[in-house]
Structures are given as structure tokens and as C-alpha cells.
Amino acid sequence: MPQPSRGRRPRIGLVLMTAVLTASLSAGTSPAGAASPPHATPNLGQNVTVFDPGMPVADIQAVLDAAHAAQVDDEMGVNRHAYLFKPGTYGTAEQPLQIKVGYYTEIAGLGASPTDVVINGKVEVYNRCLADGGTGNCLALVNFWRTLSNLSINVNAAGQDGCRSSANFWAVSQAVSLRRLDVTGGTLSLMDYCTAGPQYASGGFIADSRLPAVTNGSQQQWLTRDSEVAGWSNGVWNQVFSGVVGAPDEAGFPNPPYTTLDTTPLSREKPYLYVDARGRYNVRVPAARKNTRGVSWATGLTPGRTLPISDFYVARPSDSAQDINRQLARGKNLLLTPGVYDIARSIEIRRPDTVVLGLGHATLTASRGSTPIDVADVPGVVIAGVTIDAGPRKSPVLLRVGARHGNRHSSPANPANPANPTTLSDVYFRVGGPHAGSTDVALEVNSDHVLIDHTWVWRADHGVEGFTDTQRWNTNLGRNGAVVNGDHVTATGLFVEHFQQYNTIWNGDDGTTILYQNELPYDPPTQADWMNGAVEGWAGYKVGDRVRRHRLYGAGVYVFNQNNPQIHTENGFEVPNRPGVRLHHIMTVNLSAGIIDHVVNGEGEAADTTKVGAPVYLTGYPAP
């Protein structure tokens, strides 16, 4: 059933638990932080566990059960882990491997193809039940920061009760990606309907996957890109399909609320670590492609290039930005092992085609007001699997792609390459939450021809800092979430929430966004704190006044002014009224406090408290 609201996210105490992990760790002879010699097994550190199919299923199960127990409630913690599976089969019909995934956990196969690693069993996320001793108020609204990729799941629910055996459950919200999966033998449910209500879930992302029938359930918004689905049921507010074989038709919009693009105009799959037939570790870097549909691996290896692990500097959280920059200057790519890195100066990406790959939600925290990642105006850079946190001292930007050049976004010395865009995949941002944080802008894109493939840009609406809403408004500062100044920038899965002015500003020409999800900030104390000059409030998505061409498909802006329910926002979207600027399937919705007066540019009814949980939709702007 459609669910109206995320509501106030609870402030949960941390569960501190230790566990002895008995798995075989990938341990070579390279010292910590060193680049591995050719053909050596890389030392990926103590937070990476590598499983071999020869290990007893019971031993693997024990390791993963302990990991889940430690991480299931550790929403704002500092532990980061990756659990990687070498090619082979894990679990049997009689003894399936049933995995549950907690916070800051990556589960991934080490095959060249998703079919090289087979899990007979399940890989699941359930609701967190926050009341009545863990039996009531069950929801997935804060099930963030976890990753599942590059393997096959042959669903086997042996030993589970009747409801749990009905699907493989993946009840999640933002900053959670499913990539390169092949799921057979059962259904996939994106909500957990087996626990007591309300069972809300807030959104997610699937790419490059072959899936059985999918139950969307209470998921408020979702993007499925370049995949295959046997069927799809239900949708709450905003369900987008791009290049998906078997996707539902959008003709009935908004009932059901489906937005369907036959192909994805620009895509690049996320890089992945794999082990070849000789036991050597490599990183496959998929190529950018245009007008894609279906999975990239249906007829063989995903198109792209292979880099040996010896081409990477394998970094540890103890490494400084200076250490990392020295290795980048030598021509190394960068593999960030799981952990939290204090970054006091920018990690500088200056070489075209540099790859930065994070494992286990590796997290870069800005220190001393730094910009943790600064990418030059060069083509082909790929940054993937990295979380970037603001620190207490205000940063100008958390990730910058390219320097500003007036009306020219790419440096003449390093022209952008339309066929080889700089790409950000599963790159997440936080301003507040685990600690106080402050930045002017989280993500700034100045270069032309950039692809943003799934990001969550979050100014925290809750955390362990102990702030009231008004204290949070005055301490966790974030003016804009995403600012796009470059031309020909594409975003597939742009989630931006709670910033204090425009959440997203798109100034570049020929931009495209496929699924946009936004919540306006919960915490403005007064209307005077939420004014854009004489205009009440700031739109959740702003296309610059000089932009001539822009496309937006499947977008929602939500309001929940819990600190002052009387606050108004004039428009959910603001765009120039030009023939080349087109918005397709957009909506606003009220989550029980505050008012958005119009959907876009004064058009559309008010999303007010007479319509709690009932979106105000426009099929298109300008009207078709």
C-alpha cells in the first residue's frame, strides 16, 4: 500500500559489539599502503574478508552473521567492511547461505561476470523495528549505506518461516545500490512486509541486473537502469525505468506512477574488482556507452578495459592526502580500502582516465575545511564507491569536478571527451549525522561531459550530534547540494536532500537527469530563514535562467517542515520557460508539515496538509 511519509527519522543509540571473524583474509606480502607487485595477492587490509568456495558453509555463515549483528544498528558508526567472494558456488540446496547486510557493508563477487559467483540462499535487508523491544514501528527509512554487486543469487529460503520464504527481501532507502546481479529461483521484494508496520521504505537504485518478478511495495521512489525484469508490481510516488527490458508501460501515469525510457542516453557501469583464471586481481573499468538497454554482460565480458591491481595504490585510512597524491602523481590509480580517512588537503586527480575505487563504503572526512576530492578538467576520470563527509570547519566544496572557466567549462588544454565522460558512480555525501559538518556546496561539476550515476547528497536531518532542529540549522551548514555548471552533464539517479537554499542548481546546457528525488530541509526555524529574496523558499530543483536545453525525467520534491509547519515554499521546481527545457513526470508531495504552493513556475496545485501523502503530479512542463 502507498505510504505517506518518511516522517522524523529516529535518533538511534549505537549498538557496540565485537566479533571475531574467522574467514580467510586476503593477505599478501605488501606493506600497508603499498602498491602490490605484479601478480601478487593484494593486501586489502583487515576490513576486507575474501571467501573461497572451498570454505565450509557454516564458517562463512558464522562470519557474516557476526558482521550483521555488529552493523545492523550502527547507523552513524565508523566501521567499514567488504566481504568478497572468489569465483565458485556458495551454499547448497540443503545448507543455503543466507546473508543479512548491515550498515557500511559491501557484499560483492570477484568474478569477471555476475554468473561466476553463485549464492545458493539469500542476500537480504530487513526493516529495523524501533519500538516495543524490536517488534514494533518497523521500517526501512534509515536503511542506508550498503552495497550488493557482481554475483548470482539462486533464492533458497530453506529453514525460513512462511512469510520470509516468500521473497529475497531488500528493504532499503538511499545510498544503497544493487549492481550486476542475476537473481533466479524466487521473487525480489524491495520492502519488508513480514514485520509489523508501518513498513515504509524511501528509495533506491538498481543497474545492470537480471531480475525475477519484483515487488516494489512501499518504496517511495526507485530507479532501475539498464536491466531486465520478469515483472514489476506496485509503485508509491515515483518509479523510473531507463533501458529496462520488461519495464512497465508509463501510459497510465500517474496511476501507476511509472516513468519509462526505452534506452538510457548515456551510461557507464561501475568499476569492479575481479580475480582472473590465474588468480590475479584486476579492476574492470567499463566503457561509456550510448542508448543502452538491458545488461552489459549478456554476451560476454562487459565492454571496457582491464587494469591489473599493480596499477593501483592500495590506500589505508592511516594514509594522508599527501601520501595518496604522491602515488597519483606517479601514475597510479587509487583503491581505497574500507575505513574512515581524515583528509586535510585535496586528493588531486590530474591525470586523464584515473580510477578511484572505494571498497566497503570507504569514507573521506574533510578536515580543516578541505575539499576532499578535486578533479581537474580531464576526460575519463572514474570515481566510484566513495562517501565524502563534511567536517566541522566549513569546506567550500566536498567534491569538485573541473575548475570554472567563465562560460567555458572544459580547459582548452584538456578538452572534454563526449565518448569518455568523467563518471561518478555510487558517490555519496553527508553534511552532519555522525558529527557536525559544514560546507558551502557538496558536489560541484564544472567540466563538460560528466556522468553522475547514482549519488545521494545529504544534509543530515538527524544524527548523533544531539542537536535540536534549530541548532542543526545553525550548525550543519550546507547552501547547495549539487551545482552543475558544465554542459552535456547527465545524471542517472540524483538524490539530494535538506540543503538550506537550492538543493540542486543546474546552470549547464544540454543537461539530462533521469530520476530526481529531493526533500526540502526539515529544520528552517522561521519563514524569514527560508526566503529567496522576496520569494518564499527555494525550489528543490533549479535550472539556471540562461539554460536553453535541459531534460528531466521522473522527479519529486517533498516537504516536511517539522521545525515550523507554517513555512511555505513557492515552487518545487524552477526552470526557464523555453522550448528546449522539458520536464517529464514531475510531482510534489506533503509529508505532513509545511506547504509547497506550486509544482513548477506557479503551475500545479499546492501540496498542503489536506493532501498528506497524495502527490500533486504534472505529466509534463510545459504541458504536452
Q: Which residues are catalytic?
A: 519
Return d(Cα 141, Cα 598) in angstroms, integer: 26
**H-state helical runs in 29-137:** 57-71
The secondary element (H helix, E strand) that includes residue 136 is strand 136-139
CA 360 to chain centre: 13
294 HSE (CA, 13 A, CB side) = 6
Cα–Cα distance for residue pair 139/8, rounded to 1 Å: 12
147, three cell numbers: 552495497
CA 40: distance to chain centroid? Answer: 32
- 323's enclosing H/E stretch is helix 321-329
What beta strand segments (E) does 432-580 contain? 439-445, 450-459, 478-484, 490-497, 504-506, 511-519, 531-532, 535-536, 541-543, 550-560, 568-574
Nearest Cα to 475, choosing from 383, 367, 393?
393
Dmax (CA) of the chain = 68
Compute CA distances 426 → 29, 492, 575, 620, whole Å.
Answer: 31, 11, 27, 29
* Alpha carbon distance 575, 601 (integer Å): 7
List strand residue ranges (DSSP E) for 188-279, in order: 188-189, 204-207, 210-215, 221-225, 228-233, 238-242, 258-261, 264-267, 272-275
Please give the grid coordinates belonging to residue 541: 530543483
